[in-house]
Amino acid sequence: AQSVTQLGSHVSVSEGALVLLRCNYSSSVPPYLFWYVQYPNQGLQLLLKYTTGATLVKGINGFEAEFKKSETSFHLTKPSAHMSDAAEYFCAVSDSGANNLFFGTGTRLTVIP
């Protein structure tokens, strides 16, 4: 069975500070991993994904994530937070044989001016 754990339902950072959102997954087979962002009153948008190959994945808006198999993690980072990054972020896992995505419970990011 697959599952995702996002540590911290709320994260606050100052504008310009490092953003680190944590995601750990559980999967019995090589996973496909995703980060989605949800802005207020909108649906989810894909930030980045890991399927195979390079373990450091770059996404939109300056975000990146690193797949660490030994730690079963896929943490999302951004070197310098911007006010427009305030949103809710979801980590999700799937695998090649699955027909659905399993989402984490989400992390709400607040950026303090």
**Sites of contact with another protein (CB under 8 A):** 6, 9, 32, 34, 36, 41-46, 49, 51, 90, 94-96, 98-101, 103-106
Minimum separation from the CB atom of position 32 to another protein (A): 5
Residue (17 or 49) nearer to another protein, CB: 49
Minimum separation from the CB atom of position 9 to another protein (A): 7
- Write down the H helix ranges in 12-56: none
Minimum separation from the CB atom of position 28 to another protein (A): 16
Per-residue burial over 54-76, b if 16 or more Cβ lie within 10 Å, else e, is: eeebebeeebbbebeeeeebbbb
Angle of CA points 67, 70, 75, to nearest 5°: 35
Minimum separation from the CB atom of position 60 to another protein (A): 11
| Residue of 113, 112, 108, 96 lying closest to 40 (CA atoms) | 108
Residue (38 or 77) nearer to another protein, CB: 38
Residue (32 or 67) nearer to another protein, CB: 32
Residue (51 or 61) nearer to another protein, CB: 51
**Residue pair 64/56 in contact by the 8 Å Cβ criterion:** yes
* Other CB atoms within 10 A of residue 8 CB: 12
